[in-house]
Amino acid sequence: MRDRSASLLPIAMMILLAALTFWLNQIIQGDNPRGPLRHDPDYWVERFEVRRFDTEGKLQHTLHADKLLHYPDDDTTIVTTPHFTYHQLPQSEVFGRMAYMGPDGKVVDLVDDVKVIRYPDLDKSAPTVMETRTLRIYPDDEKAHTDDPVRITRGLSIVNGVGLDVDNKSGLSVLRGRVTGIIHRNDNETP
């Protein structure tokens, strides 16, 4: 009989140790859910301005917006009514109804009523205005891209295309797809 109780002692100790481990795990875990994190904002900012400087300390661009929401589960940010201003000459402004920013802020996706205004260098000509539904912006590189229909106007001149690549530093814009338009020699004339 003693041999039998001596052999049950290690099994009883293991069961006790397993129960103690389970109990400690429940205390440490608490009420934390085991499923995926909820998609709730951890902070928000209203009516704000952010300024970004280049490596030489010159103001590169400014962002004004009505509201910013940050989500910690995927480290994304949603901005309502964003307004970017690029301060290098020629100055440009970018507007949209909504913007989605990735974790590092290197890519910004503008959605709905996207408008880009590029002001002329020194002459008194009309600014160039580009309108589309979506636009992906790379703020540090001052580049943008869309695959949606685009309308570009300057004075009375109008050009339409499907898809656009923009390089603000070089001033080069490439329309893709079927491009149509009306170009006026003098933008101050009436058609």
Contact by Cβ (8 Å): 65, 79? yes
110 burial (CB, 10 Å; 0-12 / 13-18 / 19+) is buried
| pLDDT tens-digit map of 60-71 | 888 899 999 988
- Domain limits of the chain? 1-32, 43-182
Q: Which fold has domain 43-182?
A: lipopolysaccharide transport protein A fold (2.60.450)
Section 30-52 average pLDDT: 76
DSSP string, 104-159: TSS-EEEEEEEEEEE--SSS-PPPEEEEEEEEEEETTTTEEEEEEEEEEEETTEEE
Check residues 173 and 78 and name the one with the higher pLDDT: 78
For the ranges 39-48, 147-156, 178-187, the maximum mean pLDDT occurs at 147-156
Give the confidence band of 169 by pLDDT, cuts at 50, 70, 90.
confident
* CA 145 to centroid of chain Cα atoms: 13
